Amino acid sequence: MIKNILNLRNLSVLVLILAAWLITAYWIEPFLHYHSQQTGFLFSRDFLRSYTTYPGGWADYMAEFISQFFFYPLSGSFLVVAVAALPGFLAMDLATGTSCTRKYGISVFGVILLFGVLVMTDYRYPYYATVRLLCAFVFTWVFALLHRKNPKGSLFIWPVAAFLLFYLASGPALFVFSLSTSIIILSSRDLKYRAAVIPAMLLFAAFLPFLGYRFLYPVTLGDVYKLVVVRHPELLAYTTFYQLYIYYSLLPVILLIFFFVKQKPELLPEPKQVTGETTPKQVKGETASKVAIFKTAYGVHLLQMVILLAAGYFLFVKSFDPEKKRVLQVEYLAENGQWNELLKAVEKTERYDFRVNFQVNRAYAHLGQLPERLFAYPQLLGVYGLFYDNSTINGSLTMPNSDLYFDLGLMSESLHWAYEAQTLMPNSPRILKRLVMASLVNRQYQQAEQFLAVLDRNLLCRDWVARYRPYLTDTALAAKDNLIAEKRLFNPTREFIHLDPLSDLKFLLETNPENRFAYDYLITHTQLSSNFTDFMTYLPRYTSFGLQKLPRSWEEMLAVEIMRNRSFPDFITPETFTDETLQRFGKFNAILKQFNNDVKAARSALQKDFEKTYWYYILYLDPKVTQVLKNKTLIR
């Protein structure tokens, strides 16, 4: 029977691990953590050294090492689950040692695994918090082993272990360790001096971080006491949420519960031999109640599994925000230039997001659809959906900015934003790759070499380095590279001060009138800012791009201009501008008139047929109308 229970337990553990893997791989997808946090682990002495000078640094180093493998979707997910499961196994063993029962082991394992996965539902979650906690579990488990063998001797080892753990994994891990080991000591029947030892241990643990802060480590007090440290300027501003607090308190709480359970033997109907370390004699002794125990144990086990799975489902649904994930997916697809997939992913989004707005516009432009489909996505931020508002810029927006300027062919600005990004994430492969590419476009081969040398120390980038390193010695290769060659054609060299995106776009067109991407962005900029002067100045250039017919959104803005002036501009032919647009505009105005030009009242009537038009935008969505930029609620 015991064998059955053990098998059942192992099977349950396997089921839980597989469930966790499934959830991690298909819902959470840790490669999005990699993408958003830009892990850049380097095999170099300097990189390691930078992690050794503060409490928790070693755990952070390990976390950086592990999390780089999140890059691989399946194996990364497995790694997340494996690291989350390890404390579960240790806790099961510790709980058994504290209560002398394995009856609730699956719950212990399941709860810890559950929270190990739950914390990953936030894509800004700093993975070091998991690794630091794992260190606390390992230290506690080792201490428990020593304590079982030599209770008094282990007390002398405790301060050394506490100090070492503090150095490896910082204050919160130390608190987990000290609370857990206190309960282990409390549950020991052999120790006579528990009352004196435990308060001393807890005091030591409470003050050690402070002493470390005061006399050893040039860090802040928050660094040694807080679970996570948010740096300034805020980049990946993770807000410590209840999952992480619970995750850190699980081990001491579990041990405490088991300690109390042990004090009330009536809660432990099983004989001691259920722990597994049974003797033939003990097994014989339980034969009398075989059926009853089997039923009880099986039932309890089943009940635990049901509760675990139900609680897991409930907590996961509560914690996981699929919309946030979709935004990251959109950014990930943009990073990889998967524009069609990006637009498909956007169809699934339910809320407006300024980052999605920005990437959708890029996707349209890359696919040559920007003028045709501009208003298919609500342009609630106006021109700030094209170019981020620099006054609200934060670290997360630096690379998208660099990407956009690279698209446009303006290397100085692409480099400017890439350097800003690199300041925040010095070893990010994505940023370093951009610096290499922009340097190659600029023919700055020495600089490209410098960044390639750093990338070469990243395990995941060696193939990429091998591809581009020959460009440094054989510069003809760079010239033959389509992307580099195109950007060189567009990249201006004349001296110019960047004041605003519109003047940058004009500068780009002045440099190369064939820069279609810049042209589309320029016209779109004039549309979104209702800048009719520049719109009418630059629109006639459409002929140089071989357009037979003006795209929809341009026609719509032009229709407004035609109606205002009561005349057609010279550059328009019947082929390029259709009457159908004027008719639609007439219909739009007619509906408006039906409501006596009451814009508010006409909204729902207009929305039906005209929501995705320039006309609807200027009346209802333009930030000048909505005033959304005043309180910046849309930019979070």
Partner 1 sequence: MNKTLLKFTIGFVAAWLVSCQARVDSFVEIPRLPLIFPDYTGITIPPNIAPLNFKINEPGKAYEVRFTAGGEKPLVVRSGKSSIRIDLGKWRQMLQQGAGSDLQIDVFVKSEQGEWQKFRSIVNEISTEKIDSHLAYRLINTGYVLWNKLGIYQRNLENFDEKPILENKSVEYGCMNCHAFSRNDPDYMMIHIRAIHGGTFINRKGEMKKVDTKTNYTVSAGAYPSWHPDGRHIAYSVNNIGQNFCTGEVRIEVSDAYSDLIVYDSQEDIVTTSPAVSTANRENLPAWSPDGKTLYFTSSPPVNGLNDRIHERYDLLRIGFDVATHAWGTVDTVLSHRQLGKSISFPKVSPDGKFLMFCTSDNGYFTIHHPMSDLNLLNLETGEYRKMEINSPHTESYHSFSSSGRWFVFTSKRLDGLFARPFFSFLDENGNASKPFVMPQKDPGFYQTFIKNYNIPELITGEVKVSPLAIRNTILGPSVPAGLAAGVDTAYMKQHLSMTVK
Q: How many CB atoms lie within 10 A of CB 220?
A: 11
Size of residue set near partner 1 by CB under 8 A = 48
Residue number with CB closer to partner 1 (324 or 416): 416
Any contact of residue 43 with partner 1 (CB under 8 A)? no
The piece of 117-125, 201-209, 496-504, 553-561 that touches partner 1 (CB under 8 A) is 496-504
Q: How far apart are CA 527 and CA 530, in angstroms?
A: 5
Residue number with CB closer to partner 1 (269 or 426): 426
Any contact of residue 156 with partner 1 (CB under 8 A)? no
Any contact of residue 215 with partner 1 (CB under 8 A)? yes
Helix (H, G, I), strand (E, B) or coil at 310: helix
Any contact of residue 497 with partner 1 (CB under 8 A)? yes
Any contact of residue 232 with partner 1 (CB under 8 A)? yes
Q: How far apart are CA 429 and CA 451, in angstroms?
A: 10
The piece of 154-162, 312-320, 493-501, 610-618 that touches partner 1 (CB under 8 A) is 493-501
Residue number with CB closer to partner 1 (91 or 168): 168
Any contact of residue 495 with partner 1 (CB under 8 A)? yes
Residue number with CB closer to partner 1 (221 or 547): 221
Among 153, 199, 233, 337, binds partner 1 (CB under 8 A): 233
Among 100, 133, 219, 522, binds partner 1 (CB under 8 A): 219
| Phi, psi for 598 (deg, rounded to 5) | -80, 100
Among 29, 64, 223, 622, binds partner 1 (CB under 8 A): 223
Any contact of residue 235 with partner 1 (CB under 8 A)? yes
Query: ω into residue 233 within 30 of 0, thus cis?
Result: yes
Any contact of residue 447 with partner 1 (CB under 8 A)? yes
| Phi, psi for 178 (deg, rounded to 5) | -70, -40
Any contact of residue 44 with partner 1 (CB under 8 A)? yes
Residue number with CB closer to partner 1 (297 or 478): 478
Any contact of residue 446 with partner 1 (CB under 8 A)? yes
Q: How far apart are CA 402 and CA 272, in angstroms?
A: 65
Residue number with CB closer to partner 1 (390 or 537): 390
Q: How far apart are CA 94 and CA 116, in angstroms?
A: 18
Any contact of residue 424 with partner 1 (CB under 8 A)? yes
484 in Cβ contact with 454 (< 8 Å): no
128 in Cβ contact with 60 (< 8 Å): yes
Q: How far apart are CA 383 and CA 363, in angstroms?
A: 16
58 in Cβ contact with 169 (< 8 Å): yes
CB of 433 to partner 1, least distance (A): 14
Residue number with CB closer to partner 1 (488 or 584): 488
The residues near 52 (Cβ < 8 Å, ≥ 6 apart) are 58, 61
Residue number with CB closer to partner 1 (232 or 281): 232
Q: Which of 78, 613, 208 is nearest to 375 (CA)?
A: 613
DSSP for 235-270 reads SS-PPP-HHHHHHHHHHHHHHHHHHHHHH-GGG--S
Whose tokens are 């054609």? That residue is 489
Whose tokens are 């849309």? That residue is 634
- Quick one: which H or E segment has residue 362? helix 354-366
The piece of 227-235, 367-375, 380-388, 462-470 that touches partner 1 (CB under 8 A) is 227-235
The piece of 69-77, 165-173, 249-257, 408-416 that touches partner 1 (CB under 8 A) is 408-416
The residues near 288 (Cβ < 8 Å, ≥ 6 apart) are none
Any contact of residue 220 with partner 1 (CB under 8 A)? yes
The tokens for 132 are 């630091």
The tokens for 133 are 């906690």
Binding site for partner 1 (CB under 8 A): 44, 46, 54, 214-216, 218-220, 222-223, 231-233, 235, 393, 395, 398, 410, 412-413, 415-416, 419-424, 426, 444, 446-447, 449-451, 453-454, 457, 492-499, 507
